Amino acid sequence: MTVASGPYAGRTSEIWDRLHHVTDPELDESVTELGFVTSVEVDAIDHVHIQFRLPTYWCAANFAFMMADDMRAAVSALPWVRGASVVLGEHMYADKINCGISQGLSFQETFGSEATADLSEVRRTFLLKAFQRRQEALLSQLMARGYTAEQLVTMILADVQALVVEKEGQDLVGRYLERREIVGPCSPDAPAFLSAEGRRLPAEGLEVYVRGLRRVGVNAEFNGALCRGLLSARFDMTTPLPERPKVNPS
């Protein structure tokens, strides 16, 4: 990991903050928390240079491409960024993915006839899984706090946004709201909790529904643990990384 100092430290910190919200689509975890991002630099003309790695040489090309493209889009949205380079290392398709990302090509344009899957469909499938995982976490906590099934299914989004909860609960609410739009409109008076098909949840059988969602979370947690293990076996993860620069409040 490269850490900037001096006048670029604040901007480098902004880039890390943006990257923190980019997730591995299969795991629904931040690429920075997973240890995938190894270097962030901002040069003198406000071009951003990002390097990242994956747990194996053969990680799925479509997931690798999505993460690279999402990183590029996330940092390019900052108004001062004049260009962004995202480079994947030590992967069987690194050259092809890096070339496609640098030229702003789609996955299909990058891989041509090798691209057998519609990346937008793959992305939606995993966004729905992330939505279900986050919904289960939030509903489980609200049930533990004493909310009844009738109260939960009649909540609107404004109610969820107004919940008074501790830090962990705030994180759950924030993460759920980030993915809520995948299943329906997000006006303040819209139902807070919908199914993956966009239907309002019934009170009857809500606990069974939530228990069913836990399977999605268990699968993701297993895959996450596997990826961390493979990453540790492949790269030196024991050497402490330098501290990241902090955002200058001024």
Phi-psi region of 104 (alpha: psi -120 to 50; beta: other; left: phi over 0): left
pLDDT recorded at residue 137: 95
Nearest Cα to Cα of residue 33 among 185, 169, 175: 175
pLDDT, average across residues 97-121:
90
**Mean of the per-residue pLDDT values for the chain?**
89
3-state secondary structure of 31: coil
Q: Tell me how far apart the alpha carbons of residues 145 and 18 are, in angstroms, rounded to a whole number.
A: 32
pLDDT surpassing 90 at residue 6:
no
Distance CA 10, CA 29 (A): 24
Least confident of 59-73, 83-97, 222-236: 222-236
Q: What is the pLDDT of residue 241?
A: 54
Q: What is the pLDDT of residue 220?
A: 84
Radius of gyration for the alpha carbons in the chain, expressed in angstroms and rounded: 20
Among candidate residues 116, 150, 117, 127, the one with its CA nearest the CA of residue 70? 127
Q: Are strands 47-52 and 83-88 parallel, antiparallel or unpaired?
A: parallel
Task: Answer whether 86's CB lies under 8 Å from 41's CB.
Answer: no
pTM of the model: 0.81
**Residue 5 predicted with pLDDT over 70:** no
**Mean per-residue pLDDT, 66-78:** 96
